[in-house]
């Protein structure tokens, strides 16, 4: 058999995707699985976005699009950044891609040479480190401990930066912990970054509109304008507008970086679906009331899940500021054995036994760079969350 490229030797399949796939296979076999492993909103795409896509298709807007995005969508993105983030970008400072993930990959391919380092606060979204490795980079993980609310400490960031650092990736509200930074906390991080003018800064703001209890969102290019010429701010349709399947994301940053990223994208996938772009433009410019409505639902779900998990023996669950995940500590369950005979020596053992014996899918903390934890998504209906948490409580009580 012909060889597979060496670059894939250390690149792993995302644990969340693997767990979700396993849960789906079990469901196909007739098992009622409560899947809390996928970060996918259970809400519908807004009707006005779907209608805009339909109109675009009927009007013949089905030809090859510009690599960087349609002018209509880039204008809508410019308005969004001005409205929500006090940031003003020119059209040539905006790139539309096939989801936020492609924005990240475009940026890394455009800037990272073999051996360059990418600083990633941990816990982190599983794909950051894998994508860094795929382009020949070296992920450098910076521990963000629970006793600091899973937030990045400036002194830890400073210690992680070396002459080989090419990027620092920020993701607040965070996947998997839900942690978010105040303006003062982000400003302190920005002062570290100002001392290192040769590195890029990526701000993944995908969970921007999922903040609770009056917590206010801010992004680093807004907090520290002096960094604007080396910050890439990315966002997308998937979380805010429940448009995961539409695969439309966008990034904004300095024109030379965006030009290089567009060149990369042109060789990989070219432009993004025209009808998908029409849908996102309508979502960005249309009524925003649904954001607040869904935000209220997520807050109720967060409170329910945190309360129920804190009643489970051996589990301690931190209450996050945002996103739609919780990241409970399972240290009190280690060293025990499940009714099915599996010894729980780590969080991978825990989530495996939980799925096999109680049919609840979660993701091990090891996949996100911090153990012993697990990630639970509450982007699903309340009934499923109640049953899932009840099963987790039962599982924990059964450990011996």
Output the pTM of the full model: 0.95
The pLDDT confidence band at residue 11, using thresholds 50, 70 and 90, is confident
Provide mean pLDDT across the span 127-152. 97
Task: Clarify whether residues 169 and 252 are in a common domain.
Answer: yes
Mark which of 285, 309, 333 sits at the end of a domain. Answer: 285
- Evaluate whether residue 41 is within a structural domain: no
Going edge to edge, which strands form the sheet with 165-170? 94-97, 249-252, 231-236, 200-204, 165-170, 117-122, 138-143
Task: Clarify whether residues 189 and 329 are in a common domain.
Answer: no
Task: Clarify whether residues 248 and 381 are in a common domain.
Answer: no
- Evaluate whether residue 49 is within a structural domain: no
Mark which of 265, 285, 305 sits at the end of a domain. Answer: 285
Task: Clarify whether residues 134 and 248 are in a common domain.
Answer: yes
Task: Clarify whether residues 15 and 141 are in a common domain.
Answer: no
**Which pLDDT belongs to residue 24?**
81
4 versus 295: the higher-pLDDT residue is 295
Mark which of 250, 285, 320 sits at the end of a domain. Answer: 285
**Count of structural domains within the chain:** 2
| pLDDT, tens digit (0-9, with 9 covering 90-100), for 12-38 | 777 777 777 887 887 788 889 999 998
In CATH, what number is assigned to the domain containing residue 253? 3.40.640.10
Provide mean pLDDT across the span 374-386. 97
In CATH, what number is assigned to the domain containing residue 304? 3.90.1150.10
| pLDDT, tens digit (0-9, with 9 covering 90-100), for 155-167 | 999 999 999 999 9
Domain holding 381, by residue range, is 6-32+290-398
Query: Shortest CA distance to 105 belongs to which of 129, 131, 124, 127?
Result: 131
Given a cut of 80, whether residue 218 has pLDDT beyond it is: yes
State the chain's maximal CA–CA distance in angstroms: 64
Task: Clarify whether residues 144 and 202 are in a common domain.
Answer: yes
Quote the CA–CA distance of 387 and 378 in Å, as a whole number.
12
Query: Shortest CA distance to 157 belongs to which of 203, 188, 124?
Result: 188
**Which pLDDT belongs to residue 96?**
98
Task: Clarify whether residues 222 and 309 are in a common domain.
Answer: no
Alpha carbon 197 to chain centroid distance?
A: 26
Mean pLDDT score of the chain, rounded to an integer?
Answer: 96
Task: Clarify whether residues 149 and 235 are in a common domain.
Answer: yes
Residue pair 95/258 in contact (Cβ under 8 Å)? The answer is: yes
| pLDDT, tens digit (0-9, with 9 covering 90-100), for 75-98 | 999 999 999 999 999 999 999 999
Task: Clarify whether residues 108 and 182 are in a common domain.
Answer: yes
């Amino acid at each position: 058999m012909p060889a597979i490229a060496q670059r894939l030797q250390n690149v792993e399949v995302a644990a969340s995707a693997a767990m979700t796939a396993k849960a789906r296979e079990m469901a196909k076999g007739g098992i009622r699985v409560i899947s809390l492993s996928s970060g996918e909103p259970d809400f519908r795409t807004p009707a006005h976005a779907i209608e805009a896509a339909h109109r675009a298709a009927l009007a013949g807007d089905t030809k090859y699009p510009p690599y960087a995005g349609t002018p209509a969508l880039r204008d809508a993105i410019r308005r969004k950044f001005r409205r929500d983030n006090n940031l003003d970008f020119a059209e040539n400072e905006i790139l539309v891609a096939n989801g936020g993930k492609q924005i990240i990959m475009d940026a890394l391919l455009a800037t990272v040479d073999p051996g360059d380092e990418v600083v990633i606060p941990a816990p982190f979204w599983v794909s950051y480190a894998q994508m860094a490795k795929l382009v020949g980079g070296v992920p450098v993980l910076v521990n963000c401990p629970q006793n600091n609310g899973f937030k990045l400490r400036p002194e830890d960031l400073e210690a992680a930066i070396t002459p080989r650092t090419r990027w620092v990736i920020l993701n607040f509200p965070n996947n998997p912990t839900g942690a978010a930074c105040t303006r003062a906390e982000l400003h302190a991080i920005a002062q570290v970054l100002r001392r290192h003018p040769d590195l890029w800064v990526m701000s993944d703001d995908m969970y921007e509109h999922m903040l609770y209890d009056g917590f206010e969102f801010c992004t680093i290019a807004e907090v520290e304008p002096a960094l604007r010429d080396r910050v890439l701010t990315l966002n997308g349709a998937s979380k805010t507008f429940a448009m995961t399947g539409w695969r439309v994301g966008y990034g904004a940053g300095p024109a030379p970086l965006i030009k290089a990223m567009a060149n990369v994208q042109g060789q990989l996938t070219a432009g993004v679906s025209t009808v998908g772009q029409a849908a996102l433009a309508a979502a960005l410019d249309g009524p925003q009331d649904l954001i607040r409505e869904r935000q209220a639902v997520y807050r109720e779900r967060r409170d329910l899940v945190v309360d129920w998990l804190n009643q489970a023996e051996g589990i301690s669950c931190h209450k996050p500021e945002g996103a739609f995940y919780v990241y409970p500590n399972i240290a009190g369950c280690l060293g025990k054995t499940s009714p099915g005979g599996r010894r729980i020596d780590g969080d991978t053992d825990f989530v495996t036994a939980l799925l096999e014996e109680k049919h609840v899918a979660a993701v091990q903390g090891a996949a996100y760079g911090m153990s012993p934890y697990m990630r639970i998504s509450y982007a699903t209906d309340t009934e499923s969350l109640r049953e899932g948490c009840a099963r987790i409580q039962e599982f924990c009580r059964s450990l011996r």
